[in-house]
């Protein structure tokens, strides 16, 4: 069965189609800056899990998400540029949540809470002047801007300085609604060392609607010269890591959420080649808001269906990130390299 037919597109084709999810971005893009922070906000809490497959992750508060550990919910997931320095952006999201009383209560007094805010970062420092990286202010402003209608893609938030192989990367999002009413969505930040586009065809490894085979001359021009790495940019250092969030509106346990996070990496591997390298920090978070009720019975069959959908929307979101991105500095974009590919 055709994947697009099997997984019909959600209303906005974005993770905010999942009830209870808000998305916010903060970025800076000028001649000295190309970086930012994205937040998937669930102030009332959502069951959460994570699966880390890359060899070089930059993460925060991932141990708390293990199924055997005490806390079962997160209140936000932060995705940021800035490499490990960018993890500071999660402080701003914590402060925003704490000021509003969202978090795990730690006393009988109102407002004394500790928000659970896991985070993962991408390595984009070479796209900015050294020292220009997201801080707590980026996270706070991203949380302040978060809404149920945010669907921007490309050079926004944590995708502002992202590079996907030899092309500009960015933020992408997608969603699907299953025949039992389950909603599954993804938001991905694509900064991969691997390619999302097959250099021999000029088309994504994972097919999406709206593209046709580009002109052969464009494909030939886009192939790397023999002996030269297939990458452009301000630095010879590679810019690595794809991170993101998949979400569903069903009630899931932490262990079930973990299965969804694992499945998201299947979608990553379909869309990025190679994936999960030692210099990547590929990380997938999963959230279950629970607004759509329990999984239909038999639950294991229903969970497998959610996992299949998670892999699908992850792959679609990754491709959409590259298609939506615009050039930054010397890093060209898909639409610039293959202008004839758009139908």
pLDDT digits (tens, 9 = 90+) for 46-62: 999 999 999 999 999 99
Mean pLDDT on 169-185: 98
Q: What are phi and psi of 136, to 5 degrees?
A: -60, -30
Whether omega before 274 lies within 30 degrees of 0, making that bond cis, reads yes
Closest CA to 323 of 269, 271, 274: 271
Give the pLDDT confidence of 289-329 residue by residue, as tens digits: 999 999 999 999 999 999 999 999 999 999 999 999 999 99
Mean pLDDT on 65-94: 97
Angle (nearest 5°) at CA 147 between 29 and 11 = 105
Q: What are phi and psi of 335, to 5 degrees?
A: -65, -30
Q: Is the pLDDT of residue 236 over 70?
A: no
Residue 207 CA: distances (Å) to CA of 185, 272, 310: 18, 12, 16
Q: What is the pLDDT of residue 284?
A: 98
| Dihedral in degrees, nearest 10, Cα atoms 307, 74, 62, 312 | 20
Q: Is the pLDDT of residue 100 over 80?
A: yes
How far is the C-alpha of 311 from the C-alpha of 32, rounded, in Å?
A: 36
Query: For residues 141 and 26, is the Cβ–Cβ distance under 8 A?
Result: yes
Residue 107 CA: distances (Å) to CA of 69, 260, 334: 20, 33, 52
Give the pLDDT confidence of 13-37 residue by residue, as tens digits: 999 999 999 999 999 999 999 999 9
Closest CA to 260 of 187, 184, 173: 184
Q: Is the pLDDT of residue 2 over 50?
A: no
Q: Tokens 């694509």 map to which residue? A: 190
Q: Is the pLDDT of residue 232 over 50?
A: no
CATH architecture assigned to 3-341: 4-Layer Sandwich (3.60)
**What DSSP line would sit under 235-267, residue for residue?**
-SS----EEEEEEESSB--HHHHHHHHHHHHHH
**Domain locations along the chain:** 3-341
pTM exceeding 0.85: yes
Q: Is the pLDDT of residue 335 over 90?
A: yes
Q: What is the pLDDT of residue 279?
A: 87
Which pair of tokens denotes residue 333? 């974009």
| Dihedral in degrees, nearest 10, Cα atoms 327, 332, 338, 340 | 30
Half-sphere CA count of 102, side-chain side, radius 13 A: 19
How far is the C-alpha of 227 from the C-alpha of 305, rounded, in Å?
A: 43
Query: For residues 288 and 41, is the Cβ–Cβ distance under 8 A?
Result: no
Which pair of tokens denotes residue 89? 């952006």
Q: Is the pLDDT of residue 6 over 90?
A: no
For 222, the 3-state DSSP assignment is helix
3-class SS string, 89-113: HHHHHHHHHHHCCCCEECCCCCCCE
Half-sphere CA count of 48, side-chain side, radius 13 A: 31
Beta-bridged to residue 242, according to DSSP, are: 190
């Amino acid at each position: 069965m055709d994947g697009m037919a099997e997984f019909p597109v959600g209303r906005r084709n974005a993770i905010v189609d999942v009830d209870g999810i808000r998305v916010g971005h903060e970025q800076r893009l000028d001649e000295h800056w190309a970086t930012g922070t994205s937040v998937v906000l669930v102030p009332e809490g959502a069951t959460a899990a994570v699966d880390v497959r890359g060899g070089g992750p930059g993460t925060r508060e991932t141990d708390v998400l293990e199924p055997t550990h005490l806390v079962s919910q997160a209140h936000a997931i932060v995705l940021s540029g800035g490499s490990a320095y960018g993890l500071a952006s999660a402080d701003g999201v914590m402060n925003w949540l704490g000021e509003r009383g969202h978090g795990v209560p730690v006393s009988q007094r109102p407002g004394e809470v500790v928000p659970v805010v896991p985070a993962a970062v991408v390595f984009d420092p070479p796209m900015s002047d050294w020292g220009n990286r997201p801080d707590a202010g980026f996270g706070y402003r991203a949380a302040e801007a978060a809404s149920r209608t945010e669907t921007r893609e490309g050079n926004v938030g944590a995708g502002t300085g992202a590079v996907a192989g030899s092309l500009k990367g960015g933020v992408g999002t997608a969603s699907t609604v299953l025949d039992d009413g389950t909603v599954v969505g993804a938001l991905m930040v694509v900064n991969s060392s691997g390619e999302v586009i097959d250099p021999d065809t000029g088309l994504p490894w994972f097919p999406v609607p709206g593209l046709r085979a580009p002109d052969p001359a464009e494909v030939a021009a886009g192939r790397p010269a023999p002996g030269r790495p297939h990458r452009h940019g301000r630095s010879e250092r590679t810019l690595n890591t794809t991170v993101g969030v998949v979400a569903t509106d069903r009630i899931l346990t932490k262990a079930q959420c973990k299965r969804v996070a694992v499945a998201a990496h299947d979608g990553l591997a379909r869309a990025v080649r190679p994936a999960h390298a030692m210099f990547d920090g590929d990380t997938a978070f999963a959230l279950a808001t629970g607004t759509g009720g329990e999984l239909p019975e038999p639950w294991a069959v229903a969970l497998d269906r959610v996992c299949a959908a998670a892999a699908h929307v992850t792959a679609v979101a990754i491709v959409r990130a590259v298609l939506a991105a615009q050039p930054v500095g010397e890093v060209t974009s898909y639409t610039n390299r293959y202008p004839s590919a758009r139908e």
